[in-house]
Amino acid sequence: MANIVQDIKYEGDNSTFVWKSPIEDFNTGTQLTVHESQEAVFFMNGQALDLFGAGRHTLESQNIPFLKKFLNLPTGGQTPFHCEVYFVNKTDQQEIKWGTSSRTTYTDPESQIPLSIGASGTMILRVEDSRKLLVKMVGTEDLLEQTQLASKFRSIVTVNVKSHLGAVMRGGQFSIFDVDEKVLDFSETLRQKLLPDFAEYGLTLARFLVEQIAKPEDDPDYQFLLRKNGEIARARNRQTVGIIDQQTDAQRTIIEAQALAAKRQLEGYTYQQEQSFEVSKLAAQNEGVGNFTSAGIGLGMMGGIAGGVGASMAGMMSNSISPAMQQMPPTQAPQQPPQSQAPQPVDEMAALKQKIEKLKMMKDSGLISDDEWEAERKKLLSNL
């Protein structure tokens, strides 16, 4: 029988995981062409024997060790056994949709209210072990496409996602209202959980995305949590606005104080001097003391501001107070040694008290020193 050389090559598309060549029971010397990102698995009598990578291969006993004892000259270069070749696409198969067919119970960590939730999304699969995929998933089928693989794994994904979904959310303390913000971390955690299930069939889960969490919109408990969450969010917003307002007011006060300090520095006086101005103004407005006396104290204050406090202040105080004291009418000396000092007239006592109070205001304002205050006070009291 003539030895007919045949050419076996892939004729599927990129959405196909596994494609079986229609050429079977081929002769020795048959050519096998394998493209990049593909592998070809040689089957004989239903057993996966050899694996071929990218390139052009001649199927002979030399490169098929398992067939060496079967392919021989007595058969005319033909094998009396059933031979097949399966091509396996090892590119990333993207946008494979998944979803839970039913819901699972999840207990919200904050309220401890049980809720029924589901999930859906997409995944990216890649074949890691061609032989394992063929043996455990394909069997005798001639074709395995994305839709078929998704259908085969739907139950596996549903069962595993349902079992892991609530556990992952509880472990991460995810509120059902926070899961959208944590969807990437959530997806990666689920991917790690599902990796062993896919590896059992020779597949790797390159990417697993949770795109939607199906929430129980009609559940009264969920509606209650939704309203409560809204109230909390609004309260937090009000609190944030209040804090911002307080910070704005504080900053405004600081800016105004800095502006006032710059104004004082530009006009050449200090805060202490400004307070002295106020004291002087109060003293000038006090009509309870004689005009001359009040004028003397007022001039003393202004002299302290213009030329400093110290001895000049004390002199000014003496000059302003002594004439006023000299104008007071003298008291008549008693004929006999007094048994007790006669009481001072009420108006003189009031005037003396006001003088002492003004002296104290000057001391408290820093216009005169403690020693000057004490000296002037004793001088006033000595006239009693």
Q: What is the DSSP string of 82-127?
A: -EEEEEEE-S-EEEEEEE-SS-EEEE-TTT--EEEEEEEEEEEEEE
> What is the distance, to the nearest Å, from the Cα of residue 9 to the centroid of all Cα atoms in its chain?
55
Q: Kindly report, residue by residue over 45-57, the tens digit of the pLDDT.
A: 778 888 899 999 8
Residue 300: the pLDDT is 47
Residue 39: the pLDDT is 93
Asked if 96 and 64 touch (Cβ cutoff 8 Å), the reply is no
Q: Kindly report, residue by residue over 58-94, the tens digit of the pLDDT.
A: 877 555 544 544 444 444 545 556 788 999 999 898 8
pLDDT-derived band at 297 (thresholds 50, 70, 90) equals very low
Separation of alpha carbons 369 and 366, rounded Å: 7
Asked if 66 and 50 touch (Cβ cutoff 8 Å), the reply is yes
Asked if 83 and 24 touch (Cβ cutoff 8 Å), the reply is yes
Task: Tell me which DSSP letter residue 300 carries.
Answer: H
Select, from the ranges 154-158, 190-194, 306-310, the one with the highest average predicted confidence (pLDDT).
190-194
Cross-strand pairs, 115: 106
Cross-strand pairs, 52: 40
Q: What percent of the chain has pLDDT over 70?
A: 71
Q: How many CB atoms lie within 10 A of CB 168?
A: 21
Going by their DSSP bridges, the two strands 55-59 and 93-99 should be labelled as: unpaired
Among candidates 341, 342, 291, 282, which has minimal Cα distance to 320? 291
Residues 6+ apart with CB under 8 A from 326: none
Separation of alpha carbons 294 and 321, rounded Å: 9
Residue 64: the pLDDT is 58
Cross-strand pairs, 8: 32
Average pLDDT estimate for 205-217: 87
Residue keyed to tokens 């031979």: 83
Select, from the ranges 283-297, 311-325, 363-377, the one with the highest average predicted confidence (pLDDT).
363-377
Residue 316 has pLDDT above 50, yes or no: no
More confident position, 208 or 264: 208
More confident position, 194 or 77: 194
Helix, strand, coil percent content, the chain, rounded in steps of 5:
50, 20, 30
Residue 282 has pLDDT above 80, yes or no: no
Give the pTM. 0.52
Separation of alpha carbons 68 and 126, rounded Å: 33
If residue 52 lies in a helix (H) or strand (E), which one and from where to where? strand 47-52
Separation of alpha carbons 301 and 120, rounded Å: 85
Domains in the chain, please, with CATH? 7-89 (no CATH), 93-216 (3.30.479.30), 271-325+346-382 (no CATH)
pLDDT-derived band at 349 (thresholds 50, 70, 90) equals confident
User: Is residue 363 helix, strand or coil?
Assistant: helix
Average pLDDT estimate for 264-281: 66
Of the CA atoms within 13 Å of residue 178, those in its CB half-sphere come to: 13
Q: What percent of the chain has pLDDT over 90?
A: 12
Asked if 86 and 8 touch (Cβ cutoff 8 Å), the reply is no
User: Is residue 340 helix, strand or coil?
Assistant: coil
Asked if 160 and 194 touch (Cβ cutoff 8 Å), the reply is yes
More confident position, 156 or 316: 156
Separation of alpha carbons 50 and 67, rounded Å: 10
Averaged pLDDT of the chain: 74
Q: What is the DSSP string of 123-182?
A: EEEEES-HHHHIIIIITT-SEEEHHHHHHHHHHHHHHHHHHHHHHHHHHTT--TTTTTTT
Residue keyed to tokens 């819901």: 103
Average pLDDT estimate for 314-329: 47
Separation of alpha carbons 179 and 159, rounded Å: 20
Distances (CA, A) of 39 to 89, 126, 135: 7, 13, 15
pLDDT-derived band at 328 (thresholds 50, 70, 90) equals very low
Residue 325 has pLDDT above 50, yes or no: no
